[in-house]
């Protein structure tokens, strides 16, 4: 409940900062005011602010911090000095998500054109949280860049193509998604808007546009459209602030909002889907099996789990990530599970595919009736990786099965009966 409450507070903050940006951008003419107000109403509703909040992760606070930077730049453009919002946003955005560094550094650069010392201080403030976190990870014996970041940057791209092929593969992957395509169009419109403004406004517009292009070519998007929400709102705010290309900008924002809302209709059932699958997996692992467990969709199973959780997808395990991505041999997951002495495996078979351990014994499958929502699959296979645990795991499954909610069904395999 606490993560969602924090996200709700962040959403309210984001809406208030968004309203401030739009209010400051209101032009004198009635026609211009109308376009600003239309964009002001469309963007928060349609560019997945509410959807990001429902994930109860760090995305909504990152959106709020990003909009604070835009609002701070807007105040600086209007000749009202460096605001606390600009400083706070530059500190918070990179600390919340690594891609926040793009806008934070760009804002520091444009501020430093007139006041180099200020720009240097703001740039250092943007880099400090990330540098400190990398030092912290290294001190724990981990890679300085989180495995989850490396994994998502590599997903869907062949590791054998070289750096250039991976670069273009990532850009193509982003542009093949609705959010990525509109992201590119909004970044382009904002770049064109720089031609119609001058002075500090041009610097601010170029900074926001550069941040948009930077993530588009270097980052990844998708996963319930939550990764692009901050950038779409950032770019929309930049266009409203610039006051150029009003009709095309509002048209693109409207089209993007409509398509994203249509895509997100399936996300309405996400709480049900998570409850029927991930919550039940966590309940079995923590309250019944009480053993180390291997999964390929880290999250609910790991939350509050006192036993070791092996992440086979590699978001939290560099060794698993490297084995999965570097042309793995058949049964690679079995080798990793064996090395970590994990007796229980709960996975989507099609995610691991040939990597499944050949010596695992299938216990059964957790299936969702009337599947809907955003999940890795409607069926999770349960395996005993160690034959010595077959009897105890089967007995635990029998007890756990009695408490399954409606529409969650566990079908035992013949070997597990």
Separation between Cα atoms, residue 41 and residue 166, nearest integer Å? 38
**Letter string b/e over residues 360-383, b meaning 16 or more CB atoms within 10 A of that residue's CB:** bbbbbbbbbeebebebebbbbbbb
Separation between Cα atoms, residue 104 and residue 69, nearest integer Å? 7
CA angle 354, 323, 216 (to 5 degrees): 105
* 414 pLDDT higher than 80: no
What is the average pLDDT value for the chain, to the nearest integer?
87
Q: What is the pLDDT of residues 9-49, one digit of tens each?
A: 999 999 999 999 999 988 877 667 887 888 788 787 777 78
Higher pLDDT, 397 or 5: 397
Kindly give, in sequence order, each residue whose CB lies less than 8 Å from that of residue 283, ignoring residues fewer than 6 positions away: 400, 403
Instruction: Quote the tokens at residue 301.
Output: 């199973």
Q: Which residue has the tokens 């889907």?
A: 273
Report residue 2's pLDDT band, with 50, 70 and 90 as the boundaries.
low
Q: What is the pLDDT of residues 200-230, one digit of tens each?
A: 999 999 999 999 999 888 877 776 677 888 8
Q: What is the pLDDT of residues 86-138, one digit of tens each?
A: 999 999 999 999 999 999 999 999 999 999 999 999 999 999 989 999 999 99
What pLDDT shows up at residue 416?
A: 41
Mean pLDDT of 271-281: 93
Mean pLDDT of 64-71: 96
What pLDDT shows up at residue 417?
A: 37
* 171 pLDDT higher than 70: yes
Rg of the chain (C-alpha set): 24
Instruction: Quote the tokens at residue 302.
Output: 């790991």
Q: Which residue has the tokens 């943007």?
A: 126
* 159 pLDDT higher than 60: no
Report residue 161's pLDDT band, with 50, 70 and 90 as the boundaries.
low
Considering only CA atoms, which of 271, 280, 270, 268 is closest in space to residue 408?
280
Higher pLDDT, 57 or 263: 57
What pLDDT shows up at residue 3?
A: 77
For the entire predicted model, the pTM comes to 0.85
Q: Which segments within 214-302 are labelled E, that is strand?
A: 293-295
């Amino acid at each position: 409940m606490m993560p969602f409450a924090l996200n709700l507070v962040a959403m309210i903050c984001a809406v208030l900062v968004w309203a401030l940006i739009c209010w400051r951008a209101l032009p004198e003419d009635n026609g211009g005011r109308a376009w600003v107000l239309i964009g002001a109403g469309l963007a928060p509703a349609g560019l997945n602010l509410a959807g990001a909040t429902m994930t109860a992760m760090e995305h909504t606070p990152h959106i709020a911090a990003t909009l604070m930077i835009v609002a701070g730049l807007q105040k600086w453009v209007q000749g009202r000095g460096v605001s606390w919002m600009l400083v706070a946003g530059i500190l918070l955005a990179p600390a919340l998500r690594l891609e926040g560094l793009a806008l934070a550094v760009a804002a520091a650069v444009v501020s430093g054109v007139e006041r180099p010392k200020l720009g240097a201080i703001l740039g250092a403030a943007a880099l400090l949280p990330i540098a400190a976190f990398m030092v912290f990870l290294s001190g724990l014996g981990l890679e300085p860049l989180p495995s989850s970041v490396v994994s998502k940057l590599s997903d869907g791209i062949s590791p054998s193509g070289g750096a250039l092929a991976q670069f273009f593969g990532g850009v193509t992957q982003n542009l093949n998604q609705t959010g990525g395509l509109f992201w590119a169009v909004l970044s382009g419109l904002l770049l064109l808007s720089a031609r119609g403004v001058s002075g500090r406004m041009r610097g601010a517009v170029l900074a926001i546009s550069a941040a948009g292009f930077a993530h588009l070519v270097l980052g990844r998007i998708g996963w319930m459209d939550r990764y692009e929400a901050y950038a779409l709102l950032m770019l929309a705010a930049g266009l409203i602030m610039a006051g150029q290309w009003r009709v095309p900008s509002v048209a693109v924002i409207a089209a993007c909002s409509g398509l994203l809302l249509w895509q997100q209709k399936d996300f309405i059932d996400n709480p049900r889907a998570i409850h029927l699958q991930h919550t039940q997996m966590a309940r079995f692992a923590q309250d019944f099996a009480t053993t180390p467990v291997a999964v390929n969709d880290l999250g609910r199973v790991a939350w509050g789990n006192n036993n070791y959780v092996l992440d086979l997808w590699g978001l939290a395990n560099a060794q698993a990530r490297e084995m999965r991505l570097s042309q793995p041999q058949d049964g690679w997951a079995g080798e990793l599970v064996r090395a970590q002495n994990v007796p229980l495996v709960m996975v989507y078979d099609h995610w691991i595919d040939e990597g499944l351990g050949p010596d695992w014994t299938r216990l059964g499958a957790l299936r969702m009736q009337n599947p809907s929502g955003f999940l890795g699959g409607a069926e999770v296979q349960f395996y005993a990786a160690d034959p010595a645990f077959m009897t105890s795991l089967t007995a635990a499954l029998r007890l756990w099965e009695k408490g399954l909610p409606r529409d969650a069904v566990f079908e035992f395999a013949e070997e597990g009966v």
